[in-house]
Structures are given as C-alpha cells and as structure tokens.
Chain A
Amino acid sequence: MGLVLSEDQQMLKKAAADFVKKLSPVSRVRALRDSDDAVGFSRELWTKMAELGWPAIPIPEEAGGLGMGSLEMACVLEECGRNLVPEPLLSTVLLGAGAVVRGGTEAQKADLLPRVADGSLLMALAYQERNSRYDLACCSARAEKKGSGYVLSGEKALVLDGHVADTIVVVVRSAGAERDRHGLSLFLVERGAAGVEVVRQKTMHLRQAAILRMNGVEVSSDALVGSLGEGLAVLEDVIDRATVGLCAEMIGNMTATFEMTLEYLKTRKQFGVVIGTFQALKHRAAKMFVELELARSSVLGACAALDLGAPGARELISVAKARCSDAGVLIGYEGLQMHGGIGMTDEHDVGFFVKRLRGSEMTFGDGAYHRDRFAALQGF
C-alpha cells in the first residue's frame, strides 16, 4: 500500500504549497469575510487553479480531466487547508461533479465534466436538509412524475457554494417515507431555472452555503443522475470520496494550527521564560503532534485503499474521518488554550482554524457517527 508520496505527488504538493502561500494567505479569507463578499472566493484565482489542473484531478481523462486518484487530490486539498483557501474544490469538484462522475449518463458527463475540469462551470450537491443531521437517507424534498419529466419541490439546506453554483445536483425523494433507504433520486437543476430560489446561509466555519428551495421546478428525464429511486448508493459513494478530501483539508488545518501554536510556545514569555519550557505545555504539544501524525496516516491509508479499490476502503474512510474529527477538535482547542487571551480575539487566526475544524468535524459525520458506521461495516 502506498503510504508515502511518490516524486510526482511530492512535486504536485510542493507546487500547491507555493501557490497557496503566495496567492492565498489567511488574510484573504478574512478580507472576504469582512467585506461580506457576495461570492466568498475569487473567480480569478479559481481560473488560475484550473490552469494548474486542480479541478481536473479526479475527473476521468475521457471527460477532459486528469483521471488521478484521491491521493493527488489530497495533496492539493491539504495545502489549501493550511490557509483555509475558499475556492470551491470540495463543492464543485468532489460533490457536484463527483455525483456526475459516479452516477451520470455519458451525455451528462460529456456535457458537464469538461467544463468543471477547465474551471468554467461551478457545481454543488444539495443533499442535506434541516433535520437530516448525518443521515444521508433522510430526505423529504420530492420528485413527482409529470409527463415525461419530473416536478421537484421542497427545501435543501447547507448546500456548499450553492449560492454561486451554475448546476446543482439535488437529492430528492421519488418514493417512500422521509428516512427510507430506497426511493432517493438525484437530479440536475440549473440555479437559474424557474421555481428555484437560493438563499445564502452564513455559517460559523467560514464556508459558503445556501438554502435551496424548489417550488415546482420542472426537469426533463435527461436530468436524472443514476437510477430512479436508487440514488442512495451513488450518494454514499460520492460522500465517501468527498469525506477523504475533507479529511485531507483537515490535515492542512491541523498542521497550520499546530505550527502556529508551536511558534507561540517558543516565543511567548511569561514569568520571565518562554512558555514552551513548561512541561505542562510540552506534554500537551507532544500529544498534539502524536494525534496529527496518526491522523495523517489514517488519511493516507484511506486514499490508498480508495485508489486501489480495496475491499476495506469504506472502513478506512470512517477511520480517517473519525480520527480527523476528534484530532481536529483537540488540536483546535489546545491551540486556542495555549494561545491564551490573544487566541480568543477575532484578530488572531487561530480562531478561524478552530471554527473550520469544528465545522468539518460536523460535516459528513462526526467521530461517533463514523465509529458506529465502522462497527456496522465490521459486523459488530
């Protein structure tokens, strides 16, 4: 199993690191937030990322992509995570385009994926509702048959980058009751279509999201992604792959938090000495490091298993997400505590990372959710 990056992967990661360092300091995210920017990221920078091939990484070669694995995607996402890069890799590439890659028809792939790969099309995946928590099957938005097409109605919540996505993959129920595992269907919906209402949501963790309301949105049968009523399997696969990407981003968040905390321990003086000389803090810093390294291994393990199509891949994805969730929160909280009062101020970056890590913990299932899933997959 490849748990060590190849030379090509190291080069990709280094290039991403240089790009992020130069063009996307945390101060950029702060400025976007403070100015209440309507997009929340930079379309110009997104174009530059597309020129580097980032959105093309997981798109198959026959659809205009690079056809690379989750490990290559992780290399880029980790570096983005270090500076909270806000461009829509997760929403457009892993979630929206991911659904098309996993479940779309040849026509849908040919139409949408090349435009995602070149950066010209933004996508999103509307899969959550207000009371679904982490249950992917929980869905009350509906699709009713009408003629040869369908009419969609209902509300989806926390659609990542849904406020700017051109094409949104919407999870709706074509049959069954709210939490049935059967009866889910995925449809492509244009943000500008009649009956679509998008309302921006402001989140704690500095991600851009929106409510998507569908008031009798008419779509043709060509808009169906995957089989009618059997959407859950596609959705689970897409979320699994996006989860690995999110974990990689969390490793970047954790690394940045840990490094700024370590730097603070080496420079902040109290009682006439740097506080990093205190054993009470040294041991906690060492434990943060241990957690970070174990989390890093778990993500590499999940990537390797996914890219090899190994039978235990889903278990390893749960191992990675549980680990990153718990380690992320620990490192965030410890980083905050060790910074003392300055860490509590909005002016300091550590708070941004604490919020993002907590938000990511609560995206795609937290530690307890994934331990439950892991146990079920392992048959206990």
Chain B
Amino acid sequence: MSDLQAFREEVRAWLDANCPASMRWGTEIGNGGLGDGLCWGGKKYKPADPDEKVWLERMVARAWTAPTWPKIYGGGGLSKEQAKIIADEMRRLRCKPALVGFGLAMIGPLLLEHGNEEQKLRFLPEIVRGEVRWCQGYSEPGAGSDLAGVQARAVREGDFYVVNGQKVWTSYADKADWMFMLVRSDVEKPKHEGISFMLIDMEQPGVSVRPIRLISGQSPFCETFLEDARVSAEHVIGGVNNGWTMAKALLGHERSMISEAFNESEDKNELVSAARRYVGADSGGRVGDAALRDRIAQLTMDKICLELTLKRTKEAAKLGNQPGPEASIFKYYATELNKDRTALVVGILGPQGLGWEGEGFGDDEFGNTRAWLRARGNSIEGGTSEVQLNIIAKRVLGLPD
C-alpha cells in the first residue's frame, strides 16, 4: 500500500469515528456555498448545536481546518495531495466543513504569501483554531466599482495609525473580531499608490457597525464606521502604500470563490421540479407551458456549458498549463446565470412567488422569492459584471483604454 493510500485509510477511519452524525449533510443541498448554517468561529461564536463545537475541536486538534498551512503557524503541514484526500473523504462521508470563513479563505492565504514572520505567527494560529473571525473592509460609499478611490484616511501617530472613514458591504462585520481593510495612507500620491492594507481590531471604541437590510430582507452586510480607530503600525500587510497590490491578490481569490459557490452541482434540476409542481405536464409528459419549458432547457444547458468550461480549465491546470483566458469569464457568467435561474424559479411559481412572510405561502416559496432578490446583487458584489467585462476586454482581448 502506498503512503497516500495508507493516509487515505487513516483519514477515512478517523473521520468516520470523529465526525458526529449531525455534522453530516443530510438530504438538503448546500445553499450555494454561501455558508449559513456552518461554523464561522470567532469570539462571539455560539454553536447552534453542541456537536458543532465537538466537531470543530476535534478537527482543530488535528489542524485539519487548515491542512496545508505550515505547522509553525498552527496548520497541518500536509501536502496538497494529502489535503485533497481529506477533502475527498469528507465529501464521501458527507462531513460538513468544521470551520469556514474569511480567515481561512482570504486573509490567511494572503498572510502566508505576503505577511512578515511576526504577522504570520500573530494571526494564523488563531485562525486555524477558529478563535477569531475576520471580515473584509473594502468598499466605501464613494468607492464601489472604483475601489481604488477609497477615502478612509489613515494617519500615522507614533506606533499607531489613526483611521477615520466609513466602510460598506462589510459582510458579517457585526459578528467579526478583526477586519482587513484598504485605507488611504498617502493623499499626495496617485490614487493606486496611496493605499495601504491594514488589519484592525474591531473591539475598540472607534469602530461601530450597523447591519444593512436588503431588498431581499435580512443580509449579512453591514456598514462599518471608523472614528479615530487605532491600528498598530505593525499590522500593515505588504508594506505602506502597497495596499492595491494586496487588494488585487485577494480580489482574484474572492471572485473565484463567488463563481465556485454558484457552481455547486446538484443532483436534480430544481427548475424542472418547480415546473412539475406549479405548471403540470401535457399529455406527453412535457412541461405544460411550452415557453417555460424552452426557457428551462436553455438555462439548464447554460449551466452545463459553464460546468464544462470550469472542468476544462481544471483539467488544463492539472496538466500544468497556465490558466487560459476562459478563466476570466467565470465570475461574470456564473452570477448572470444565477440571476436568470433564480428569476425563472419565481416565474414558474407564478402568484405563489409573491409571498413575503406569514400565511398562505410555504417556507420554500419565501426562500425562492428572497433568493431571486438577493441574486440581483451577485453581479454587483465582488466586482460588477461591467467591471468583469472591462477586465476581459482589456486583459484578454487587448482592447485599448
């Protein structure tokens, strides 16, 4: 038996013995990977289920929450192949992730690549253990698509920076302990060259948070206000005024996370199930409304084409090819498609898609309606569709400014 095979056997046995039954996915499908109902950790974390905490502690004890991070920073120190085996076996046994969040997915990887030794030792171990929850402070009321226009001002005073300004669309800021953010550290320089990437402790008098209600209802988004908030000078990542480079490194990551999230394969076609229930069939078993049927076929095919393109890119990457230009289309296409699909589901529901809350509608119907409204934001957050098309035009097609 090869070492990897032995490792696989060990992982499988350990997971089976240690992952509590309630921490296995049931028949419900993941909610597009957006993370509700999962453990995000942090100081304010209250487990929804005692098993969730047990599962987290067991995984943390093995450092399998961050299997490939170096041991010195609290990670598992495993190879990519070993990490893949853990992921495979978790999928096979339907184990939920023990810990998710912006720490593991975003700031952690950025620190590993661009942080200095002190920063890595200071922040990474507590991310691995799920002790600190992170949020992202990028957008501002005046800096959306034009992210480099951030105005939140950081002024050096001794060992600290004093920061004033406002961040918006800070997901889960009300639940987070720390925030990574872009601030203007030099007003004299051209706008891309006067930005720094800083880490700020949210637990201080100068930071206040207000949740944002969306057209779909509740949302994880917040506004975050910074009034003479203090950031240690040691918590600037990648060097002063080098924040834009850090931001670009992270944004690419965020976009691939978003497009991947919309591409979780499902076993059944929810458009067809909805049509069966709300539209009925003709004598030949076809969806009763020919126009809806055509639209369902179209969007089902669109999804297949997107999945094939993702698969093609992954296969090419495995063969060691550089990512091809097709990679740039994912954020754009996946989010546009999700808008179309969620809108079509509500169209299939017809008047039963008009409920907001209370009597006369089912939870699934409310869910579909809110998912449709929420999805309108998919092509705005993480870089609008228009920004994505600009990137394709410039970087891939080489069209001039």
Instruction: Say whether, besides A297-B309, A375-B296, A376-B286, A290 and B301 are in contact (CB < 8 Å).
Output: no
Chain B 273-308 interface residues, beta-carbon cutoff 8 Å to A: 275-276, 285-287, 293-294, 296-298, 300-302, 304-306, 308
Contact between chains at B315 and A374 (CB < 8 Å): no
Q: Does B332 contact A (CB under 8 A)?
A: yes
A318 to B308, CA, bound (A): 14
Contact between chains at A371 and B326 (CB < 8 Å): no
Contact between chains at A279 and B296 (CB < 8 Å): no
Partner-binding segment picked from A194-202, A241-249, A281-289: A281-289
Tell me which of B285, B308, B389, B392 contacts A3 (CB under 8 A). B308
Tell me which of B272, B304, B388 contacts A380 (CB under 8 A). B272
Interface size on B, residues (CB 8 A): 44
Instruction: Say whether, besides A1-B311, A378-B300, A286 and B305 are in contact (CB < 8 Å).
Output: no
Q: Which A-B residue pairs are the 5 nearest by beta carbons?
A: A371-B297, A282-B393, A286-B392, A297-B308, A3-B312
Given contacts A287-B389, A380-B272, 16 further A-B contacts (CB under 8 A): A4-B312, A276-B400, A277-B401, A282-B397, A285-B393, A286-B332, A289-B392, A293-B309, A298-B305, A300-B308, A374-B297, A374-B301, A378-B300, A379-B285, A380-B276, A380-B293
Contact between chains at A286 and B397 (CB < 8 Å): yes
- Chain B residues with Cβ below 8 Å from A276 are 399-400
Nearest-neighbour CB distance to chain A for B284, whole angstroms, equals: 9
Q: Does B321 contact A (CB under 8 A)?
A: yes
Q: Does A136 contact B (CB under 8 A)?
A: no
Residue of A nearest to B276 (CB): A380
- Chain B residues with Cβ below 8 Å from A376 are 286
Contact between chains at B390 and A279 (CB < 8 Å): yes
- Chain A residues with Cβ below 8 Å from B329 are 289-290, 293-294
Chain A 333-380 interface residues, beta-carbon cutoff 8 Å to B: 368, 371-372, 374-376, 378-380
Q: Does A207 contact B (CB under 8 A)?
A: no
- Chain B residues with Cβ below 8 Å from A323 are 301, 305
Q: Does B6 contact A (CB under 8 A)?
A: no
A279 to B401, CA, bound (A): 9
A244 to B371, CA, bound (A): 37
Give the bracket for the number of chain A residues in contact with chain B: 35 or more
Chain B 169-225 interface residues, beta-carbon cutoff 8 Å to A: none
Over the window 264-307 of chain A, the binary record of Cβ atoms lying under 8 Å from chain B Cβ atoms (1 yes, 0 no) is 01100000001011010011011101100111111011000000
- Chain A residues with Cβ below 8 Å from B272 are 378, 380
Central interface residue in B300, B309, B311, B399, by most chain A CB within 10 Å: B399
Instruction: Say whether, besides A3-B311, A282-B393, A372-B297, A265 and B399 are in contact (CB < 8 Å).
Output: yes
Q: Does B333 contact A (CB under 8 A)?
A: yes
A302 to B325, CA, bound (A): 21
Over the window 40-72 of chain B, the binary record of Cβ atoms lying under 8 Å from chain A Cβ atoms (1 yes, 0 no) is 000000000000000000000000000000000
Q: Does B4 contact A (CB under 8 A)?
A: no
Tell me which of A285, A296, A374 contacts B399 (CB under 8 A). A285
A276 to B272, CA, bound (A): 42
Residue of A nearest to B309 (CB): A297
Over the window 176-196 of chain A, the binary record of Cβ atoms lying under 8 Å from chain B Cβ atoms (1 yes, 0 no) is 000000000000000000000
Tell me which of B294, B311, B325, B392 contacts A368 (CB under 8 A). B294
- Chain A residues with Cβ below 8 Å from B294 are 368, 371-372, 375
Tell me which of B300, B315, B400 contacts A274 (CB under 8 A). B400
- Chain A residues with Cβ below 8 Å from B388 are 286
Central interface residue in A266, A282, A322, by most chain B CB within 10 Å: A282
Contact between chains at B397 and A371 (CB < 8 Å): no
Contact between chains at A301 and B308 (CB < 8 Å): yes
Q: Does B386 contact A (CB under 8 A)?
A: yes
Q: Does B354 contact A (CB under 8 A)?
A: no
Tell me which of A283, A300, A368 contacts B389 (CB under 8 A). A283
Q: Does A139 contact B (CB under 8 A)?
A: no
A15 to B398, CA, bound (A): 27
Residue of B nearest to A258 (CB): B397
- Chain B residues with Cβ below 8 Å from A3 are 308, 311-312, 315
Q: Does B269 contact A (CB under 8 A)?
A: yes
A289 to B315, CA, bound (A): 20
Contact between chains at A294 and B305 (CB < 8 Å): yes
Contact between chains at B287 and A298 (CB < 8 Å): no
Nearest-neighbour CB distance to chain B for A45, whole angstroms, equals: 32
Over the window 303-336 of chain A, the binary record of Cβ atoms lying under 8 Å from chain B Cβ atoms (1 yes, 0 no) is 0000000000000101100110000000000000
Tell me which of B302, B306, B315, B394 contacts A2 (CB under 8 A). B315
| Pairs across A and B, CB under 8 Å, 7 listed | A262-B398, A279-B390, A294-B333, A300-B308, A371-B294, A371-B297, A380-B276
A186 to B274, CA, bound (A): 43
Central interface residue in A279, A283, A290, A372, by most chain B CB within 10 Å: A290
Q: Does B319 contact A (CB under 8 A)?
A: yes
Contact between chains at A319 and B305 (CB < 8 Å): yes
Contact between chains at A289 and B396 (CB < 8 Å): yes
A150 to B393, CA, bound (A): 61
Nearest-neighbour CB distance to chain B for A305, whole angstroms, equals: 10
- Chain A residues with Cβ below 8 Å from B13 are none
Instruction: Say whether, besides A274-B400, A375-B297, A380-B275, A286 and B319 are in contact (CB < 8 Å).
Output: no
Contact between chains at B301 and A266 (CB < 8 Å): no
Q: Does B21 contact A (CB under 8 A)?
A: no
A318 to B294, CA, bound (A): 13
Residue of B nearest to A277 (CB): B400
Chain A 207-222 interface residues, beta-carbon cutoff 8 Å to B: none
A296 to B325, CA, bound (A): 13
- Chain B residues with Cβ below 8 Å from A277 are 399-401
Contact between chains at B298 and A371 (CB < 8 Å): yes
Contact between chains at A375 and B286 (CB < 8 Å): yes
Nearest-neighbour CB distance to chain A for B53, whole angstroms, equals: 41
Contact between chains at A283 and B300 (CB < 8 Å): no
- Chain A residues with Cβ below 8 Å from B326 are 293, 296-297
Residue of A nearest to B314 (CB): A3
